[in-house]
Chain A
Amino acid sequence: MNLDLLAQAATPPSFWNAPHGSTELWTKIIIAFVVGIAFIFALMAAPHKMRRPVVAFFTFISGLYYVLYYVWPVPVAKEPGTLPLNAAENVGFWLTDALPVVAKFSNVLSGFLLGLGIFSLLRVHGRRLFKMQKDWFFSLVLILSILLMVVVGYWDWYTRLDPKTSSKLQDPANWTSINVARDFVFDGMLQQMDAAMFSLIAFYILSAAYRAFRVRSIEATILLATALIVILSLMGAVEYLWGSGVASMFGFHDTVLADGTKQTAAEAMTAANSFGGNFTLTSIRGWIQSTVQTPSIRAIDWGIGIGALAMGLRLWLSLERTSGGNS
């Protein structure tokens, strides 16, 4: 079983492909598109009770591929041209070959669905603008910003498609006005606003910590103490000075080794495997990290993982109440 549809390299013409620019290809493309649209109309006319099974069917089939891929024996390292020995191996080969195609399907489909958010944004703000509702001016700003970015973004991309100019445009000195405009809008505006928007949280986190971080219970005390140790260990200078202080308490000092390299007191303490090495901030933080922090976060992670696994099975089998057709 081999579908040319799944071929990734140049292949001889078949039912699934046609030469670039040929009438045959365009005819097939148009027919496929019309069939796809007809399928939508057919679904629109489908009876109400069919809705849930249709959605469940598509969900199940999509999930089935990956389930089969994992449970069916698939070749470990299949070279191009390797032939299957039997029917079971044939299926394994097909599953392996299909994986990049399934990934491509999911990428393309996700791409189309990401456009949904943008469409929704345009719909809401377009309506507000044309009806001149409250704050229509901000909707105008939003729509103009979308248009501005789309125009300069595509124009810049288009100039880079031309082989004659593409290589030159790697150097900003050769940029034309549209390349400069794209850089101005993308790097000078969007990226700066992106950074500003996300940095705002620093203010809120300080304010929240100041107002709410109180030692009112054992749990809060443990949380605060751990946070303090982690914060101190993130301050390299504090970590360094703490280590030096502990080392000097245990009788170690900065030295120059025989080969001329400098050894700090903390390094000398570590090299001598002194008991004091257990009291550096690095050691305390490291011990907490690997002995208590890791298993506690691992437990949270497992909890989430078990939930995700259960949710995955429920979604695949359409057992979730929200999946399926709307009533």
Chain B
Amino acid sequence: MAKVERSLGEKLQSLPKPVLYTILILVTSIPQFFPVPLPNKESKSSEDVFNLLTTIPEDQPVLIGSDWTNSTRGESGGLFKSMIRILMRRNIKFAIYTTADPQAPQVAKDVIRLLNEERKANNQKPYEVWTDWVSVGYFANPEGTANSINNNVRAAFADKKSPDAAGAMKPVMDSPVLANVKQVSDFSALVLVTASNTSNVTIERVTKTKLAMMVTGVMGPETQVYYESGQLKGLAIGLKGCYDLETMMAKKWPGKEYVNMDNGAKYYPTLHLALLLLILAVVAGNVGMFMTRKRTVQRGS
């Protein structure tokens, strides 16, 4: 049987999947061996998150909603680390709670442990659990919890326990972090790092303190709407938001004892090439379509 010769247009539209996947793996791995610092133009919403974190008073704690796991480590992990580094540098106490995923509290604790090891390596005082930060734990019902936090945060967290400095389990509200918190407005801000619908749940219910969010790229456009309307005081979106924060941190804390560039700097150059690949793939597909269409029209006429 004679083999039908395919036109260039058809070939451009039918690159086999294994080839496409292999190219993607190569494009997302090889550039990582050659890290290059990239210029950046920080987005306004990321600047607002950074300004919020660097100007909130040092004597007021921050409430952090940590609703991410390693499924979004690339984005949420980098955003979370940048925020915690800023708070640690400013000696601001923080409390972390979770409403999205039972894995999230442990993931947050693991990240803080790693950041403490980093601080020790740079001769900085590690952040002590109970004294400097507490994990309030997991709440299975996001809606009820957000309502309760807004209405009476002491009661909302009343039954949660954390090990104190001596290791005894005690109510989190007795910790130095939360001892002076009577209502949610006593937190200088609620910053939610999320990869789930808890962003909407929180916007709908927590109205008595400043809200800022760090969300994944997928959630970016829908969450941007709340930033535009002023419901969010700052918004960092995905890897771009992460790199924005790292760039601003490097400008504010240029000292060698500070680790500023992390996930954002590691992944951002590679992201450029991956996005370029996507653009080329779409262009190739469309050029192929036009070439095939032109050929069909010519044949028909």
Chain A residues proximal to chain B, CB less than 8 Å: 8-9, 66, 77, 96, 99-111, 114, 160-168, 170, 172, 183, 186-187, 190-192, 194-195, 197-199, 202-203, 206-207, 209-211, 213-216, 224, 228, 231, 234-241, 243, 266, 282, 286, 289-290, 293-294, 297-298, 301
Interchain CB contact under 8 A, B158 and A240:
no
Cβ of A195 and Cβ of B152 under 8 Å apart? no
Asked whether, in the complex, the Cβ of A238 is within 8 Å of the Cβ of B272, the reply is yes
CA A187 to CA B106, docked complex, whole Å: 9
Cβ-neighbour of A100 out of B17, B73, B155 (below 8 A): B155
Residue from B17, B28, B103, B156 within 8 A of A194 (CB atoms):
B103
Residues of A within 8 A of B276 (CB): 235
**B141, B221, B268 pick with most chain A CB within 10 angstroms:** B141
Q: Check B148 against A211 for contact (C-beta < 8 Å).
A: no
Instruction: Give 30 CB contacts A-B under 8 Å.
Output: A8-B155, A8-B158, A9-B158, A99-B151, A99-B152, A100-B151, A103-B148, A107-B140, A107-B141, A111-B140, A163-B169, A165-B167, A172-B113, A190-B103, A194-B71, A195-B74, A198-B71, A203-B20, A206-B281, A209-B282, A210-B282, A215-B289, A235-B271, A239-B40, A240-B38, A243-B41, A282-B41, A294-B228, A297-B225, A298-B225
- Measured in the bound complex, the distance between the Cα atoms of B142 and A2 in whole Å is 27
Cross-chain contact B38 with A203 (CB below 8 angstroms): no
Question: Which residue on B lies nearest to A294, using beta carbons?
Answer: B228
B: which residues have CB within 8 A of A?
A: 13, 15, 17, 20-21, 24, 28, 38-41, 43-44, 69-74, 102-103, 106-107, 110, 113, 129, 139-141, 143-145, 147-148, 151-152, 154-156, 158-159, 163, 165-169, 183, 221-222, 224-225, 228, 238, 240, 243, 268-269, 271-272, 275-279, 281-282, 284-286, 289
A107 to B141, CA, bound (A): 5
Check B168 against A215 for contact (C-beta < 8 Å): no
Measured CB to CB, the nearest residue on chain B to A290 is: B228
